[in-house]
A and B are shown apart, each in its own frame.
Chain A
Amino acid sequence: MIRVRGVSRTFVEARTSARVPALDGFELEVSRGEFLAILGPSGCGKSTLLRLLAGFDRADAGLVEVDGAPVTAISPRRLLVSQDPALFPWLTAAENIGFGLRAQGRADPARVEALLVEFGLAGAGGRYPRELSGGMRQRVALARALAVRPDVLLLDEPFGALDALSRESMQALLEATWLASGATVVLVTHSVDEALRLADRVVVVSPRPARVVGSVVVESARPRRAGSHPELRERLMGWAVP
């Protein structure tokens, strides 16, 4: 479904004119409907990859293909959700969720209502983002993304700013939603536990330039519980660069 071959992307820092290689000859493949976690320390390489997949940026070299076609533009079929929920502050939660649907002329209040319930936001639909907690905002962001039923869901450390409790419930919610949707998910995270909790396969990446250094397959029944793969955890930690 997703093919990344020999992809390179280098940034030039404005002030110092230094060249920062984010990706260098990066290779990755993701099957349709797979949940892939990309694990690695904070740094711009992983985010850059997601942005390339979403079409927000172009690679300097190499191939980025989704569903057989090269990625050239931004599309609701490849939805990116970041740590910053980027909700539109002048729209209520419900209006935010319905934004993509309305933008494509397919307004669907019933679906918005169903999503509000599914994401535990029933009753909060009429509130503005500034009246919502961090966890609720991230839920609205996810619901907004899933409303348009993307083929590919790209998540860039979406739960990084949440407290531990919210993170746990969000992970359960994400797993359930993904199972029902059949979308392909690429999740970038720096939490080993989160990766093991959610993914079919975990890929470890070294920082700047990002390069795959290891990969494990997580064969475990779903829905999962946290902390059930100590040996895999050890292997992943072994690859992780401090």
Chain B
Amino acid sequence: MRLLLLLLALWEVAGRVWPPGPLVPLPSAIVLDAASLLASGELFVHVLRSAVRVALGGGVGAGVGVLVGVALAAGGPGRLFDVPVALARPIPSLAWIPLTLLWFGVGEGQQIAILALATFGVVVAGTRDAIGAVPTAWLQAAENLGASRGARLGVRAQAALPGVLASVAEGFAAAWFVLVAAEFVSATEGLGVLVLAGRDLILPARTFVGAAGLAASAGLTAWALRALRGRLTRWA
């Protein structure tokens, strides 16, 4: 922490002594820009818009991801999903921009779709692996003690829960990761917009403010989901 502050201080001082021109912002400029956005209430709007998008996109992606992940782990006809998922996974979510534009048109839907795709890719694999990693010893013990098929499924679900929740958290992290790209095409408000505004308006300070906001939001989401997971799986 101290090293970071020291570097910022150096940056500031160096910038004042040798002004680098409008392309490289000083820490003071960044702070000022952030303050002005905060004061005008704009920052709040940007954060809120992005947060809602991530919540919706991540929610849909995680929900579908868990369902498909369960289907994949269940085997049998669920394995039919193997091929489409394997094909789609290596495709970066950003590459979906043209198709999503074509299908959802310009607007919130398209942005949320990109976020959902990013989350889905992570959650589906994580869920499938978590369910597959349940120790057979536990399932056999349950059967030995007389548990019915339904009860055994319950055992599998409980055992896989920590892993599934962890992959959901990773999924949301992935959503924040691609937010800038998701908002790239048509968003007018959002943290990604702030990041991009730096280039369009030649306001590099704003990019830093956006990036910092992004990092903070992603961190906060991760912390919240971790706390939730701790709550739900206190035994783990």
Contact = CB atoms under 8 A, between A and B. Distances in A.
Question: Are A and B interaction partners?
Answer: yes
Interface of A: 54, 56, 74-76, 78-80, 82, 84, 86, 88-91, 99-100, 103-104, 128-130, 144-145, 148
11 contacts: A74-B144, A76-B146, A80-B140, A82-B137, A88-B141, A90-B233, A90-B236, A99-B142, A99-B145, A103-B145, A129-B235
A79 B235 contact: no
A192 B145 CA distance: 30
The list of the 7 closest CB pairs from A to B, nearest first, reads A100-B145, A76-B146, A103-B147, A86-B141, A86-B137, A128-B235, A103-B146
B145 A130 contact: no
A103 B135 CA distance: 20
Contacts of B235: 89-91, 128-130
A82 B144 CA distance: 12
A115 to B, nearest CB: 14
A79 B147 contact: no
A184 to B, nearest CB: 16
Contacts of A84: 137
Contacts of A91: 235
A88 B138 CA distance: 7
A80 B144 CA distance: 7
A76 B148 contact: no
Given A79-B145, A80-B140, A103-B146, 17 more contacts: A54-B144, A56-B140, A56-B144, A74-B143, A75-B144, A76-B144, A80-B144, A86-B135, A86-B137, A86-B138, A89-B235, A100-B146, A103-B142, A103-B147, A128-B234, A128-B235, A148-B145
Nearest to A82: B137
B212 to A, nearest CB: 38
B73 to A, nearest CB: 19
B158 interface: yes
A93 to B, nearest CB: 11
A34 B191 CA distance: 73
A13 to B, nearest CB: 18
Nearest to A77: B146
B155 interface: yes
B74 interface: no
B232 to A, nearest CB: 10
A237 B137 CA distance: 32
B151 interface: yes
Contacts of B158: 88, 90
Contacts of B145: 76, 79, 99-100, 103, 144-145, 148
B148 A130 contact: no
Contacts of B151: 103
Interface string B142-170: 11111110010001001101000000000
B21 to A, nearest CB: 59
Contacts of B146: 75-76, 100, 103-104, 148
B135 to A, nearest CB: 7
A53 B142 CA distance: 17
Interface string B74-95: 0000000000000000000000
Kindly name the residue among A54, A86, A129, A148 whose own CB sees the greatest number of chain B CB atoms within 10 A.
A86
A191 to B, nearest CB: 22
Contacts of B143: 74
B131 to A, nearest CB: 15
A76 to B, nearest CB: 4
B154 to A, nearest CB: 10
A100 to B, nearest CB: 4
B144 A89 contact: no
A128 B236 CA distance: 9
Contacts of A99: 142, 145, 147
Interface string B120-147: 0000000000000001011011111111
Contacts of A75: 144, 146
Contacts of B138: 86, 88
A87 to B, nearest CB: 8
